[in-house]
Chain A
């Protein structure tokens, strides 16, 4: 009996004690913890630069928050669609899964469209009117780095979700893979909630 137990210790464990469902889930959590550090550094850096500057504009007057509030709504509802897609695949309801993951992807793509419009408007009209340029203003620099870094994450998420949708329909992915993609997508939503508050509202 003890021989069996000893032999058992030598083989690689099949399940992680932290996330028994899959190793991938633990992997995603660890990646997100690292990614959160990147965002954390950018947000803390932004806060310190803002604190040290004496001519920081009022963000809501320069950026406008109505469109961004709508973008926040898009990411939040897209997160909800993602959990509904996961619930559907766990119940083996393919049609419902396709519908909700499709909506999730659409929500992310619409967010990116709004952000592209916002950036174009800011760079082409709003900022030049105020004499603010990417190169001469910490306000503009930190704004574009934070929202740009986040926008790249959304872009990655839209591509990731689209490939998950395709892989599930070809029978290569199952519910546990969707759950991992969901973790990433909700993280992107969570970070936007913080950016919306710190960069636009505060």
Chain B
């Protein structure tokens, strides 16, 4: 089994990274940045954190590629959902 190979220290490293990213996220909310910049930064951090959890804790990094396709399918469908609703989001 591939997952036995992971050491405890690697998990702790990911934990600290997640912790730092969360603190940075909360901190930049209080900085009073322009709305657009804040949104881009926050979404970037959130996706980064989600990817860390999926890759390291859920071991997606060590699974077959096809399983990653399964895991990514919902995100592709969400993009479709947004695109299909575009006429409603930006009506003329």
* Residues of A bordering B, CB below 8 Å: 17-19, 21, 26, 29-30, 32-34, 36-37, 40-41, 43-44, 47-48, 51-52, 60, 65, 69, 72-73, 76-77, 79-80, 82-84, 86-87, 90-91, 175, 179, 182-183, 186-187, 189-190, 193-194, 196-198, 201-202
Query: Which residues on A sit within 8 Å (CB–CB) of B43?
Result: 197, 202
> Residue on A with the closest CB to B56?
A83
Query: Which residues on A sit within 8 Å (CB–CB) of B6?
Result: 83, 87
Cβ–Cβ contact A29 & B54, under 8 A: no
Distance of A43 Cα from B77 Cα, bound (Å): 13
* Residues of B bordering A, CB below 8 Å: 1, 3-4, 6, 8, 11-12, 14-15, 18-19, 22, 25-26, 29, 38-39, 42-43, 45-46, 49-50, 53-54, 57-58, 63-64, 66-67, 70-71, 73-75, 77-78, 81-82, 85, 88-89
Cβ–Cβ contact B42 & A33, under 8 A: no
Given contacts A51-B89, A76-B15, 12 further A-B contacts (CB under 8 A): A40-B81, A43-B78, A44-B78, A48-B85, A73-B22, A80-B14, A80-B57, A87-B3, A175-B1, A186-B53, A194-B46, A201-B29
Query: Which residues on B sit within 8 Å (CB–CB) of A48?
Result: 82, 85, 88-89
Cβ–Cβ contact B53 & A80, under 8 A: no
Query: Known contacts A37-B74, A201-B42: does B66 contact A193 (CB below 8 Å)?
Result: no
Majority secondary structure of chain A interface residues (helix, strand, loop or mixed): helix
Distance of A156 Cα from B74 Cα, bound (Å): 21
> Residue on B with the closest CB to A32?
B71
Cβ–Cβ contact B3 & A86, under 8 A: yes
Query: Which residues on B sit within 8 Å (CB–CB) of A18?
Result: 63-64, 66-67, 70
Distance of A115 Cα from B17 Cα, bound (Å): 25
